[in-house]
Structure 1
Amino acid sequence: MIKFLLKGILRDRSRSLLPIIITALGVGLTVLLSGYLKGAFGDIVDQNARFDTGHVKVMTQAYAENKDQIPNDLALLDASEWLDTLHTEIPEMQWIERIKFGGLIDVPDKNGNTRAQGPTTGMALDLFSGKSGENKRMNIEASLVTGTIPKHSGEAIIGHDFAEKLNLKLGDEITFFGSTMNGSMTFKTFNISGTIRFGTSAMDKGALIVDITDAQLMLDMNDATGEILGYLKSGVYDQTEVNTIATIFNSKHKLSTDEFSPEMLTLREQNNLASLLDYADVMSALFIFVFVLAMSIVLWNTGLLGGLRRYQEFGIRLALGEAKVQIYWSMVLEAVLIGVIGSILGTIIGPGITYYMQVVGIDISSYLENSSMIMPSVLRAKVMPNLFYIGFIPGVLAMVFGTMLAGIGIYKRETANLFKELEV
């Protein structure tokens, strides 16, 4: 039966070509949008994880409540002991320290007088030990516009646009003015070893990157850290796994009576990412639903037109004694075959365009100039394994649903009218 119907589909293109084209286009568009949503939202999550949230983050409860203000006076003390504890209790994750700080950059002239000034948002990373993986994780070396990564104490990387604004070049001295963990005034001189551009407006504006040992000395944070970030060694964020890790850690170490006790937050609990992740899932499901509905309506009309053209065929088959239900289900089976063919073609087209969008992407940097959100300046699609089967859901369902609606007309055929039609 399937072989017979398949021959009919291939030989009578007038009844199959249009539905196949519509299905292929709908499936291709569904695959493309699904890949683009997954890629764009995935990049946003990945950027936040690498630059800010980690897969999990450990802070004091007081720091967590005010973390947007970078309250280093509420930092986590005995950082080395907590790192040892985390490595022992949760060995499946890599743990690293980071300190964020803000202040003012002063650029002196040749006489030592102020030539330029600008506000800065600094980040202290473990750059010297070579064990933290921060260079690779934050793509520092590849993001350098000029110069090199700091190799000695007193060296710093500054944002390339920030350096141009202050008219700085490699080797120049800058002085950081800020406040220590204890609230007193601090200043420290750094030599510019390189300039960097991450492609993220929130990171590039006023960026200053130093080694964590320099920051601890500058901010009076001996064996203290603002944040301890944890990353799954697989490199892939797993909500279920990190939820389990955070629940166990908090039940053991978080004390409701001590605001300086540590608290572990997952990526989802930071930077309003929970709503973003939920939005991505809802939009992906919504697109599939909309395309199933839209293609069903189009294919329903196509089926109605095809059914009108095939009324004589149905009449002959009924006159020969074939039951209406047999004709109906043969049309549905035929629709399944057409849906599969169209879905295969759409699944070939969709990932191809998705791959192109993965390589090229859409540049949104002009919309992020004044944004404080951490997100990539180029949104890219992502080719994922599910793209090679997700299109069959709307493709086959829409074709079958449309045909089932159009096929209802078969049951309205009256045998008395068949002979009149056959006489024509």
Structure 2
Amino acid sequence: MLYFAGLAARNLKRNLIRTAIAIAAVAAVVAIVVFGRGLMVGFTESSFRMYIDNELGHVRLLNQDYAGREILLSLEHTITGPLELDLAEFLLELEELEETRHILPRIRFGAAASVDDDLIRMIGVGVDFERESAQGALIDNIEEGRKPEKNGEIIIGRDLAEKLGAERGSRVTFIFSDAFQSVRARTFEIVGLRRTGASDIDERFFYLSLAEVQRMLDLEGEVTEIMVFAEDAGRAEKLSQSLDSWLAGLELDRYKSVAWNRADPFVEIMLEYDNLMNFVYVLFILMGAVVVITTLFMIIRERKEEIGMMAALGLRERDIMTIFTLEGAFIGLTGSLLGTSLGGFINFYLSRQGLQAEALTDLIDGIDLMMEPIIYTSYNLENLLFSFALGSIITILASLYPAFRAARLDPVEALQRDR
């Protein structure tokens, strides 16, 4: 085998430019795969983290009737409504479940404000600021100011404040409907400006004390949702099953739990898209493999007489095939190693420096993606090993066909010069 490997190496040196081009082609596509996988993981993790921290938790606990009317921000179907458990007792029991690590009770409601004859619609969220400080990104994303400390104070999205022509310290009046469909108005002081980088959040949401919202909306002892967190996002399904069993034991069949990866169509699409991308990566590698196949066929054509001579001198078909397969393997392994190194370097750099999210969202016009302002690519050994193995295996397999064709050449025909 070492003898054949030496022959293969010497053969590739005969035309270094052609060999270098083939290696560069494999390196380029492998580098793209390394970078693409790192960017995809970084992008999805950023987006999923935004959904989990701001809207879904690891599992979201809802009234089943509310789930179907959530888009309307209905206040009719809440958790722990009349004649049910006391909310404080309900939350205490929920926190004591084995899989539960943290809970965030919330109330969402619709509101509006008039600015220069324009009606600006928005979403208010009543939150427990003490709980939010320990979990999620609400407090961490306050760009200017502080969290509310008394009634009448709110946090507002930076972009929403600009639409309202307001700033920190300004007083704004919102119109909203309570649980009995009565229209009310309330004036608040903006004490904090929040920026997440997701316009869908920054342009529409404001936040205030849960207790204050319950009084405003006549929802004492009620919430519209509870975001429940497990040890990590990977345990969401187990947490959801635990919650369903607990609810069944309390005979609260009107409630349901929804794991984060099943709660939003975009999240589900992104999870499927991640699987689809593995197929795309294979196609990229095949593009480089085509160059390897072409290179080997050119080598076979140039060395047709030499191949015929080797066969005439008794070299077996298997040995000839081994020589050409080793040539393809050398190109594939060298190109994959260089591509993995290049792609790994790019991912390492961007995992520290980050990539502005606008660079990605601008590529997908008309779709508002929820993600952090800066995306950090994923740099890990699994990605490097996967990409190197994928590039090497596909190029080696691709070299088998031209190697087989070389081995099957008829010695008599091969020794005849083309005229």
**Distance (Å, rounded) in 1 between the aligned partners of 2:17 and 2:367:** 53
Report the equivalent of 1:360: 355
* Letter in structure 2 aligned against 1:222: E
Report the equivalent of 2:221: 223
Aligned length: 407
| Contact 1:102-1:119 within 8 A present in 2 as well | yes
| Contact 2:30-2:285 within 8 A present in 1 as well | no
Report the equivalent of 2:136: 137
Report the equivalent of 2:46: 43
| Contact 1:147-1:195 within 8 A present in 2 as well | yes
Report the equivalent of 2:101: 93
**Distance (Å, rounded) in 2 between the aligned partners of 1:252 and 1:393:** 46
Q: CA deviation at 1:269?
A: 1.9
Question: For residues 310 and 141 of structure 1, do their structure 2 counterparts lie closer, same or farther at Cα, with a shift above 3 Å needed?
Answer: same
| Contact 1:291-1:394 within 8 A present in 2 as well | no
Range that drifts further, 366-375 or 225-234:
366-375
Question: For residues 300 and 282 of structure 1, do their structure 2 counterparts lie closer, same or farther at Cα, with a shift above 3 Å needed?
Answer: same
Range that drifts further, 376-385 or 302-311:
376-385
* Letter in structure 2 aligned against 1:20: I
Please give the per-residue CA displacement for 1:353-380, whole angstroms capped at 9, x wherever unaligned.
Answer: 3345551245156689976664456665
**Distance (Å, rounded) in 1 between the aligned partners of 2:370 and 2:355:** 20
Unpaired stretches in structure 2, ≥5 consecutive residues: 81-85
| Contact 1:39-1:382 within 8 A present in 2 as well | yes
Q: CA deviation at 1:92?
A: 4.4
**Distance (Å, rounded) in 2 between the aligned partners of 1:208 and 1:42:** 25
Please give the per-residue CA displacement for 1:147-193, whole angstroms capped at 9, x wherever unaligned.
Answer: 22223332111222322333323322223321223433444332111
Report the equivalent of 1:249: 243
**Distance (Å, rounded) in 1 between the aligned partners of 2:389 and 2:288:** 12
**Distance (Å, rounded) in 2 between the aligned partners of 1:115 and 1:173:** 18
| Contact 1:73-1:183 within 8 A present in 2 as well | no
TM-score between the two structures when normalised by the length of structure 2: 0.85
* Letter in structure 1 aligned against 2:108: K
| Pairing 1:336-347 to 2, within 5 Å after superposition | 336-347=329-340
Question: For residues 369 and 345 of structure 1, do their structure 2 counterparts lie closer, same or farther at Cα, with a shift above 3 Å needed?
Answer: closer
* Letter in structure 2 aligned against 1:352: F
| Pairing 1:82-231 to 2, within 5 Å after superposition | 82-105=90-113, 118-127=120-129, 129=130, 131-133=131-133, 137-138=136-137, 140-144=139-143, 146-231=144-229
Residue 383 (structure 1) aligned with residue 379 (structure 2): yes
| Contact 2:332-2:396 within 8 A present in 1 as well | yes
The correspondence for 2:400, drawn from 404, 421, 424, is: 404
| Contact 2:156-2:194 within 8 A present in 1 as well | yes
Question: For residues 418 and 117 of structure 1, do their structure 2 counterparts lie closer, same or farther at Cα, with a shift above 3 Å needed?
Answer: closer
**Distance (Å, rounded) in 1 between the aligned partners of 2:348 and 2:335:** 20
Question: For residues 333 and 85 of structure 1, do their structure 2 counterparts lie closer, same or farther at Cα, with a shift above 3 Å needed?
Answer: farther
* Letter in structure 2 aligned against 1:416: V
Q: CA deviation at 1:346?
A: 0.5
Q: CA deviation at 1:404?
A: 1.0
Q: CA deviation at 1:198?
A: 1.8
The correspondence for 1:280, drawn from 266, 273, 281, is: 273
| Contact 1:62-1:74 within 8 A present in 2 as well | yes
Q: CA deviation at 1:116?
A: 8.4
Question: For residues 103 and 377 of structure 1, do their structure 2 counterparts lie closer, same or farther at Cα, with a shift above 3 Å needed?
Answer: same
| Contact 1:9-1:15 within 8 A present in 2 as well | no
Range that drifts further, 216-225 or 5-14:
5-14
Tell me, what secondary structure is at the counterpart of 2:394? helix
Tell me, what secondary structure is at the counterpart of 1:413? coil
**Distance (Å, rounded) in 1 between the aligned partners of 2:367 and 2:315:** 68
**Distance (Å, rounded) in 1 between the aligned partners of 2:368 and 2:25:** 42
Range that drifts further, 386-395 or 7-16:
7-16
Report the equivalent of 1:34: 37
Report the equivalent of 2:26: 23
Q: CA deviation at 1:28?
A: 0.6
* Letter in structure 2 aligned against 1:294: M
Q: CA deviation at 1:205?
A: 1.5
| Contact 1:96-1:229 within 8 A present in 2 as well | yes
CA-based RMSD: 3.2
**Distance (Å, rounded) in 1 between the aligned partners of 2:384 and 2:187:** 55
TM-score between the two structures when normalised by the length of structure 1: 0.84
Unpaired stretches in structure 1, ≥5 consecutive residues: 108-113
Q: CA deviation at 1:250?
A: 1.8
Please give the per-residue CA displacement for 1:189-235, whole angstroms capped at 9, x wherever unaligned.
Answer: 3211122222111111132111222222222222211111122234x
**Distance (Å, rounded) in 2 between the aligned partners of 1:43 and 1:380:** 8
Residue 395 (structure 1) aligned with residue 398 (structure 2): no
Question: For residues 228 and 186 of structure 1, do their structure 2 counterparts lie closer, same or farther at Cα, with a shift above 3 Å needed?
Answer: same
Please give the per-residue CA displacement for 1:82-120, whole angstroms capped at 9, x wherever unaligned.
Answer: 22222222344321112211112368xxxxxx9986332
Question: For residues 41 and 5 of structure 1, do their structure 2 counterparts lie closer, same or farther at Cα, with a shift above 3 Å needed?
Answer: farther
- What is the percent sequence identity of the aligned residues? 21
Question: For residues 297 and 217 of structure 1, do their structure 2 counterparts lie closer, same or farther at Cα, with a shift above 3 Å needed?
Answer: same
* Letter in structure 1 aligned against 2:338: L
Report the equivalent of 2:83: none
Tell me, what secondary structure is at the counterpart of 2:282? helix
* Letter in structure 1 aligned against 2:133: G
* Letter in structure 2 aligned against 1:126: D
Tell me, what secondary structure is at the counterpart of 1:171? coil
